Amino acid sequence: MSQIPTERDVLKMMETLSNWGRWGADDQLGTMNFITPRERLRAASLVRDGVPVSCSRPISSEISADTSFQPLRFMVDSGEGRDTATPARQLERRGASEFIGMVFHGYTITHVDTPAHYFWNGRIYNGRSCNLITSREGAQVEAVDLLKEGVVSRGILLDVATLKGRWLESGEGVMPDDLDAAEQAAGVRVEPGDILLIRTGYYARRRAQGPRHPLKDGSPAAHVACMPWFRERGIAMLGTDTHNDVTPVPYPNLGNAVHVVGLVAMGLWLIDNANLEEVAQACAARRRWEFMLTIAPLVLQNVTGSPVNPIALF
Amino acid sequence: MSQIPTERDVLKMMETLSNWGRWGADDQLGTMNFITPRERLRAASLVRDGVPVSCSRPISSEISADTSFQPLRFMVDSGEGRDTATPARQLERRGASEFIGMVFHGYTITHVDTPAHYFWNGRIYNGRSCNLITSREGAQVEAVDLLKEGVVSRGILLDVATLKGRWLESGEGVMPDDLDAAEQAAGVRVEPGDILLIRTGYYARRRAQGPRHPLKDGSPAAHVACMPWFRERGIAMLGTDTHNDVTPVPYPNLGNAVHVVGLVAMGLWLIDNANLEEVAQACAARRRWEFMLTIAPLVLQNVTGSPVNPIALF
Amino acid sequence: MSQIPTERDVLKMMETLSNWGRWGADDQLGTMNFITPRERLRAASLVRDGVPVSCSRPISSEISADTSFQPLRFMVDSGEGRDTATPARQLERRGASEFIGMVFHGYTITHVDTPAHYFWNGRIYNGRSCNLITSREGAQVEAVDLLKEGVVSRGILLDVATLKGRWLESGEGVMPDDLDAAEQAAGVRVEPGDILLIRTGYYARRRAQGPRHPLKDGSPAAHVACMPWFRERGIAMLGTDTHNDVTPVPYPNLGNAVHVVGLVAMGLWLIDNANLEEVAQACAARRRWEFMLTIAPLVLQNVTGSPVNPIALF
Amino acid sequence: MSQIPTERDVLKMMETLSNWGRWGADDQLGTMNFITPRERLRAASLVRDGVPVSCSRPISSEISADTSFQPLRFMVDSGEGRDTATPARQLERRGASEFIGMVFHGYTITHVDTPAHYFWNGRIYNGRSCNLITSREGAQVEAVDLLKEGVVSRGILLDVATLKGRWLESGEGVMPDDLDAAEQAAGVRVEPGDILLIRTGYYARRRAQGPRHPLKDGSPAAHVACMPWFRERGIAMLGTDTHNDVTPVPYPNLGNAVHVVGLVAMGLWLIDNANLEEVAQACAARRRWEFMLTIAPLVLQNVTGSPVNPIALF
């Protein structure tokens, strides 16, 4: 059965699981290096039905219990009264538009984390200084426009919640055993370049019971004990239906351990706050837990991530 | 040779090309109805090389000559000094994050327009009142989360600029003749459910000569004369490397005629301000102007569009 | 004793208390017309001690129970690590700055309402159309830059909460009787051009018990029954420590009746969400409830109000 | 005649003009300590006419040549169509409101700088570490809410532009000689606690000739050579009609020398980008260059300044 690593074990992972230098001293792509044309062709070959399913939560401007920063939506122009306005006015102002704004990192918006999102001992992935992520200039390396061509690969859903017959509890980590069991149940094997989606049921619970704040009320996630498993398999991205770290954090001196080991040591790109409900249903209905997955981050310069709408195509 | 329609001709299009009621009185999807699993399967079947190409411009927070509203990027937290900070501080603040904000409609950001973006005589697509697009609530119909499952279909690039051997001039419209010629040159035929991308070279010119403001300095686009062609072929989306209307506007009493006829009468979804440079090169290199195209709008509630990064997969 | 007016009584006020046309058909200043050099001189003559007291609440970027829109504060540049950075970097980036953003109307920020903030039957103060307050252009009349020279006049505090020995309850209105009693207790008489501040104790309660949402939990305010009193006295502005209307609203078909009668009919400028705690203490300590009051709205173009920090000078 | 100090001279000022420790090790107020009730009473005693004059520029959301960050104004709700809407809708949405946002530091908005706005050798005023001004928390010391009670003191205008009969040129500094001459011409003597306003004519030029960018096109300001003069007189604040440093900067290794010596060494609060046109006219008309001046910064927490509308009262 899976062992809970000690804090010292986790600290060792920073070296034993490190991908620093693996793809050269200049590398910024980290685990994205696992995705090549071959993986994309395999992904495309999985399409059977032509049915797309979003893995994104909606983006709302409402404040809820898990809001850190309220997303903004303000109309720059609206349609109100344009039916009764003068013809000249109707002609001049015939379009609606809006300002949108958000802090996508947080607990509600489905987004990609680049490796620059986290640092440890003053370093980001591949040994660069955290001083490259500045207030004024933003992320001078490891910005999300590295992914401007998008991420296309095989997606695999490991539906741990369904396997356990319940959503995971606050503070409960998905363990390597769970991954093995879910793999077996799904009849798939996670391989290099795959985008691994792990369903804990956290978002199902949010839908059923309403929002709660992960820092106050806790949340499940993949446990950092899974990191060796992730590295061995060579996943390109890890996405879950939580913010990707168990809270309360099990290692107070490490904080969000999956972020630290994953982003900093491994250069493992993350998808936080996914919605895996509909994709889980689509998989279950087909008894297939693999699919073509396309993630198209906005081409944001100097930004440590992007809101995304990952599309699984069955 | 293609005729330039009179203003009266264009006004007639509001009726002759109308899709109001075509998919039922409740329809909000408009030309998205043309995309079914069959079209997505065809799109996936086009993948040969596993090479993805972005059709998005970068999103920068700089002000340039074509900026209407400056995109925002502010760090909520940065990495500066986190190498020399106390261990407690390093632990407490080990992540960088940012606020991003933008008015994506405009002339610089690659984005989708929903039919709710435009109104005519007080109506939006399918006859609804423009009063449904309000300052406070935003787009109460035809919001971009209608596309939450993404748009996956065959993309076809008609590279009019290459065909003409020059970028199109300010005020110059792509005419139906040009579409026919480009189709013939490409050896493809645009069919129902396709996403049609038309390259005028406007963005190539921006790269070469720097930004200019479409309203002050003019821009090319597909001419409204093409609308019957678009409707006949049943395209699901129209994307160009401009803001999708010739300026100066040829019909002062109509304004942006492609937007009016396309969005309002036809329910034709648009992609404005695409970057078609790399995709044109990828097509030319392969002598194939069709590809799998995936567009994954953010799941924004009550918003009349979304910034997007359309991914062509060859 | 003060009578609670019926809804019909209040509707009559729209005519009987109207200031439309009183200062000419072009007037936008409304009750600001009551302040002339004479009133400012009187205000200055009240200064005895040289002690200034703010009537503003702090502006925080935290979300609280009475937040409608979260105020924003993002650093554009910070000082972090500028001690250990290279000399070149220290020289280049030697200043901190920030973006601030807010929806100041609401329940937490001390702000001025211009008459354009409210409309009734399609009209704003002095009979102009509400269509002059547009999504795109903002307030094309009655914008807060009308007050660019500031508001300087005598401030009078009527401390109803202290008089009653308790803070007013949710839904409880300050009545004309209360004003008379407070005036008498204070030994002052409110006269034309005065800025009247009424303390209900609502903000004291917020400090003591934490924030509550005025729409969910109710709030006190001056009752619309006071409007004839205000008009008779010729006050230039009304400020309270609430959002200036009793909730739950006593007249469901009228909504925020003080706003409607005050802003629309009377052109009476309001100060919402003031902090009257320290000024009340300063008054009590001196046994004087009149002082020089200076309000300096930001010179915002096309905006229906401004956050302000009203300064009482004793 | 005034000497231009060498760079070494300016560096010496960091010690010779330092106010570190002058008001105690815990002091954050710097030169604000010069304003006491006595200075405020003197200010109030200067009021003769009851005429207020703004020293603020308007805040516009337009992009101009001197825009670094575009100010934002978006309507949260507007009045459009509320005349023709249903009665229920009219009742529900009877108010207009807006979001405003800005980076007030810059070259266009009249604002206060707190001493925390600048650092030198890793220190801010009174020797604190620049690491107290963080991305996440903002200004943990020296924030503008220190001035929550406002700044009320005697304002003195030294109208150097009028004295010279021309606006100062790009790169031209106001020298101590100029201050002496302007003082003499005005018949006033700057004394401790005064708020000194210096008019270079830069804003007059902007009005006449349109905006130019201070970094590209240069700007005048008080020369750092004036710092000993300012310290000797004990001014509480320095305000000019420029961004308060000559550009191009005369000391490339020092950058904005007035900011460095003033904010960091002296703890001298600044008003950047004032509009001194109307106040200069009001002074000239009265042949009096002293007046009561009230500055009421917003009570912003953790922010290194505030947009302000300084009100001179004659």
A149 pLDDT tier (thresholds 50, 70, 90)? very high
Q: Are strands A195-199 and A151-159 parallel, antiparallel or unpaired?
A: parallel
Chains near D, with 3+ CB pairs < 8 A? A, B, C
Asked whether residue A1 carries a pLDDT value surpassing 80, the answer given is no
Chains sharing 3 or more CB pairs under 8 A with chain A: B, C, D
How far does the CA of residue C77 sit from the closest CA of chain B (Å)? Answer: 8
How many angstroms separate the Cα of C199 from the Cα of each of C7, C106, C182, C242, D252?
25, 18, 10, 9, 54
CB contact (8 A) between residue A70 and residue C77:
no
Q: Which of C69, C93, C134 sits opposite A136 (nearest CB)?
A: C93
Say which amino acid occupies D60: S
What helix, strand, coil percent values describe chain D, rounded to 5? 30, 20, 45
Q: Which residue of B has its CA nearest to A50?
A: B37
Instruction: Give dist(CA D71, CA D68) in Å, integer.
Output: 9
* Nearest chain D Cα distance for residue B273, angstroms: 21
Whether residues D135 and B77 touch (CB distance < 8 A) is answered with yes
Beta pairing class for A195-199 and A237-240: parallel
pLDDT, one tens digit per residue, over B146-202 is: 999 999 999 999 999 999 999 999 999 999 999 999 999 999 999 999 999 999 999
Here the ipTM equals 0.97
User: How much is the mean pLDDT over chain B?
Assistant: 97
pLDDT at C52: 98
Q: Do B123 and A82 touch (CB under 8 A)?
A: no
* Separation in Å, CA B107 to CA A94, A123, B64, B110: 16, 38, 11, 8
Residues of B in contact with C76 (CB under 8 A): 74
Put simply, the answer to whether C105 touches D69 (Cβ < 8 Å) is no
CA distance C311 to D149: 7
* Cβ <8 Å between A131 and B102: no
Nearest chain A CA: its distance from B2 CA (Å) = 27
Picking from B98, B279, B281 by the largest number of A CB atoms within 10 A of its own CB, the best residue to mutate is B98
- In a mutational test of the C interface, the residue from B68, B75, B80, B94 whose CB has the highest number of chain C CBs within 10 Å is B80
CB contact under 8 A, A130 and B82: yes
Partner-chain contact A310 B296, CB within 8 Å: yes
pLDDT beneath 50: ranges in chain C: none
Could B76 and D131 be called an inter-chain contact, meaning their C-beta atoms sit closer than 8 Å? no
Q: Which residues of B touch A53 (CB under 8 A)?
A: 149
Q: Is the dihedral of CA C36, C39, C43, C44 positive or negative?
A: positive
Instruction: For residues C5 and C162, give the distance between their C-alpha atoms in angstroms, rounded to a whole number.
Output: 25
What residue has token string 């003033």? D262
Out of A57, A73, A120, closest to residue B94 by CB: A120
Nearest to B75 by CA among D307, D137, D106: D137
Q: List beta partners, residue A195.
A: A155, A237
pLDDT reported for residue A2: 83
Inspect the interface and report whether the beta carbons of D82 and A82 lie closer than 8 Å. no
Cβ of D99 and C101 within 8 Å? Answer: yes
Joined together, the tokens standing for residue B219 give 């821009």
Q: Can you name the residues that pair with C97 across neighbouring β-strands?
A: C77
Nearest CA in chain D to C297: D309
Do A83 and D81 count as a contact with CB atoms less than 8 A apart? yes
Q: Do C69 and A70 touch (CB under 8 A)?
A: yes
Confidence label for A240 from pLDDT (cuts 50, 70 and 90): very high
| CA–CA separation, A238 and A240 (whole Å) | 7
* C87 contacts: CB under 8 Å, gap ≥ 6: none
Contact D196, D238 (CB under 8 A): yes
Q: How much is the mean pLDDT over chain A?
A: 97
Cα separation, A91 vs D155, whole angstroms: 50
Out of B94, B119, B138, the one facing A94 most closely (by C-beta) is B119
- Angstrom distance (rounded) from CA A64 to CA B104: 25
Distance of alpha carbon D73 from alpha carbon D68, whole angstroms: 16
The closest CB to that of C129, out of D83, D105, D122, belongs to D83
Smallest CA–CA distance, residue C1 to chain D, in Å, is: 31
- State residue C2's pLDDT score: 83
* Beta-carbon separation of A135 and C63 below 8 A: no
For B62, other C-beta atoms within 10 Å of its C-beta total 10
pLDDT given at position B2:
83
Q: What angle do CA C272, C275, C277 make, to 5 degrees?
A: 145
Q: Which of C78, C129, C138 comes nearest D133 by C-beta?
A: C78
Percent of chain B scored above 70 by pLDDT? 100
For chain D, list residues with pLDDT below 70.
1
Can you give the three-state secondary structure of chain B, one letter per residue?
CCCCCCHHHHHHHHHHCCCCCCCCCCCCCHHHHHCCHHHHHHHHHCCCCCCEEECCCCECCCCCCCCCCCCEEEEEECCCCCCCCCHHHHHHCCECEEEEEECCCCCCCCEEECHHHECECCECHHHCEHHHEECCCEECCCCHHHHCCCEEEEEEEECHHHHHCCCCCCCCEECHHHHHHHHHHHCCCCCCCCEEEECCCHHHHHHHHCCCCHHHHCECEECHHHHHHHHHHCCCEEEECCCCCCECCCCCCCCCHHHHHHHHHHCCEEEECCCCHHHHHHHHHHCCCEEEEEECCCCECCCCEEECCCEEEC
Rounded to two decimals, what is the model's pTM?
0.97
Shortest CB distance from D70 goes to which of B70, B80, B131? B70
Low-confidence ranges of chain B (pLDDT < 50): none
**Euclidean distance between CA atoms C139 and C297, whole angstroms:** 16
Judge: B131–A304 Cβ closer than 8 Å, yes or no: no
Which residue is associated with the tokens 């850190």? A68
Q: Chain D residue closest to A97 (CA)?
A: D74
Give the model's pLDDT for residue C102: 98
Interface B-D, measured as beta-carbon pairs within 8 A, has a size of 32
pLDDT digits 0-9 by tens, C146-160: 999 999 999 999 999
Question: Cβ separation of C81 and B76 shorter than 8 Å?
Answer: no
| CB of C66 closer than 8 Å to CB of C108 | yes
∠ CA A300-A304-A305 to the nearest 5 degrees? 70
